[in-house]
């Protein structure tokens, strides 16, 4: 039986091109993540990535240790075909650390796909879309730099832009939203993301103000645990409310549905802790008629390839994705060739497994390796 035979683990740091102002955990300079390379008994190599964010889900160092100490012994010798059994084993052996478990599941799927010539989307039931609309986040501390980017991106076909609000003053947010609508009009599918920045007290008048700019949704206006405030906005506002930090996994989603605390959810593999878990979460969302949006943390090409395969095979994620890191933020990526973007969309790659190529050379050439085991 085809099993996992060899396992290598890397903690890497990649430089980024632009500062990102998010309100919590602002990003400047570099992002860290963990890569796993697994090899099966017949020599098929699969890759996985854990990209935690310390203010959101955890730390890259924590994921590295979780994989190295607690998960590696479960993975060595595991049958390549028994992915679900391995995910159960990992959950029993280690609480939390969803990103670490995801990295392993991703590499297993990569190997399984390569062993039978199928993409991960094929293994998940097959593609329902070949392209995913790509949202770019307006989060540069220098707003004029973002306006200059938009002036290039909009004519090239980009329509989805998500503005990070609540970091600067409400007045500045209003000026920026107005400037974007004025410059680009209704061609923009504008979304607004507060990253939990508002206090429930007084939030509704702020949200009513930003509604004037006809956003497609308002994401996570208040802290994650404020579900009753989220429910009141969902009830009161005309604009759909999207839960991100309030909705990590299927359990959170059940609570959101019970309290009617959102109209839509951001699904992130790093939050869900697995591709199968994210699909299970979307089955619940579909049943409740809640659409999904493909969110990210600070993921590189390997994790975003997994996200692309997942969304390609998950009909309910109809609000696009924000997989803009490799083309717009990372100065380099560990992939030999980045996943293509076309007309403002991410193109789902053909090819087996994740549909990407990673090599020792592309890894060592494009990322700084902080630790390897």
The residues binding Mg ion (CB under 5 A) are 193, 244
Torsion sign over Cα 222, 228, 232, 235: positive
Report which residue's Cβ sits closest to Mg ion: 244
353 DSSP 8-state letter = B
Among 267, 290, 294, 27, CA closest to 160: 294
Q: How far is the CB of 57 from Mg ion (least distance, A)?
A: 12
Contact call for residues 78 and 93 (beta carbons, < 8 A): no
Q: E-strand spans in the chain? A: 4-15, 30-40, 45-50, 131-133, 135-138, 160-164, 189-193, 218-219, 241-243, 264-267, 292-294, 341-342, 345-347, 368-372
The angle formed by the CA atoms of residues 99, 225 and 269, to the nearest 5 degrees, is 20
Q: Which tokens belong to 333? A: 């990526």
Distance separating alpha carbons of residues 22 and 167, to the nearest angstrom = 7
- Nearest CB to Mg ion, comparing residues 40 and 266: 266
- Nearest CB to Mg ion, comparing residues 267 and 363: 267
- Nearest CB to Mg ion, comparing residues 37 and 244: 244
Q: How far is the CB of 245 from Mg ion (least distance, A)?
A: 7
Q: How far is the CB of 367 from Mg ion (least distance, A)?
A: 25
Q: How far is the CB of 322 from Mg ion (least distance, A)?
A: 8
Q: How far is the CB of 165 from Mg ion (least distance, A)?
A: 11
- Nearest CB to Mg ion, comparing residues 193 and 333: 193
Distances in Å between the Cα of 246 and the Cα atoms of 163, 206, 239, 251 are 19, 20, 18, 11
Q: How far is the CB of 206 from Mg ion (least distance, A)?
A: 17
Q: How far is the CB of 56 from Mg ion (least distance, A)?
A: 9
Q: How far is the CB of 191 from Mg ion (least distance, A)?
A: 10
Distance separating alpha carbons of residues 360 and 364, to the nearest angstrom = 6
- Nearest CB to Mg ion, comparing residues 193 and 252: 193
User: Considering just the CA atoms, what is the radius of gyration of the chain in Å?
Assistant: 20
Phi, psi for residue 183 in degrees, rounded to 5: -75, -40
Distance separating alpha carbons of residues 341 and 110, to the nearest angstrom = 21
Q: How far is the CB of 219 from Mg ion (least distance, A)?
A: 5
- Nearest CB to Mg ion, comparing residues 4 and 139: 139
Contact call for residues 284 and 254 (beta carbons, < 8 A): yes
- Nearest CB to Mg ion, comparing residues 75 and 218: 218
- Nearest CB to Mg ion, comparing residues 49 and 193: 193
- Nearest CB to Mg ion, comparing residues 193 and 263: 193
Contact call for residues 276 and 108 (beta carbons, < 8 A): no
């Amino acid at each position: 039986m085809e099993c996992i035979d060899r396992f290598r683990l890397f903690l890497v740091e990649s430089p980024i091109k632009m500062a990102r102002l998010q309100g919590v955990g602002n990003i400047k300079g570099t992002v860290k993540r963990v890569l796993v390379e697994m090899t099966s008994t017949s020599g098929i190599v699969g890759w996985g990535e854990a990209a935690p964010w310390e203010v959101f889900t955890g730390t890259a160092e924590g994921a590295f240790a979780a994989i190295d100490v607690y998960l590696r012994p479960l993975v060595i010798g595991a049958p390549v075909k028994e992915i679900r059994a391995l995910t159960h084993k990992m959950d029993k052996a280690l609480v939390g650390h969803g990103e670490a478990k995801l990295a392993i599941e991703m590499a297993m799927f990569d190997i399984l796909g390569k062993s039978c010539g199928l993409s991960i989307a094929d293994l998940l039931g097959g593609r329902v879309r070949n392209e995913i609309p790509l949202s770019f986040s307006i989060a540069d501390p220098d707003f004029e730099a973002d306006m200059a980017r938009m002036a290039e991106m909009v004519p090239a076909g980009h329509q989805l832009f998500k503005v990070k609000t609540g970091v600067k003053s409400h007045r500045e947010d209003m000026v920026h939203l107005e400037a974007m609508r004025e410059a680009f009009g209704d061609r923009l599918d504008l979304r607004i993301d507060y990253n939990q920045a508002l206090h429930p007290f007084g939030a509704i008048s702020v949200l009513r103000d930003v509604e004037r700019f006809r956003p497609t949704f308002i994401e996570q206006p208040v802290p994650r645990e404020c579900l009753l405030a989220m429910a009141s906005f969902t009830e009161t506002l005309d604009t759909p409310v999207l839960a991100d930090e309030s909705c990590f996994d299927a359990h959170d989603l059940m609570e959101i549905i019970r309290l009617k605390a959102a109209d839509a959810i951001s699904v992130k593999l790093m939050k869900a802790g697995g591709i199968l878990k994210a699909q299970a979460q979307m089955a619940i969302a579909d049943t409740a008629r809640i659409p999904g949006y493909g969110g990210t943390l600070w993921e590189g090409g390997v994790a975003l390839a997994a996200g692309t395969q997942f969304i390609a095979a998950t009909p309910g994620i109809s609000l696009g994705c924000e997989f803009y890191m490799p083309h717009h933020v990372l100065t380099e990526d560990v992939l030999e060739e980045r996943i293509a973007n076309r007309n403002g969309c991410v193109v789902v790659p053909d090819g087996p497994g994740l549909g990407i190529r990673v090599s020792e050379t592309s890894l060592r050439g494009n990322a700084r390796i902080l630790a390897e085991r």
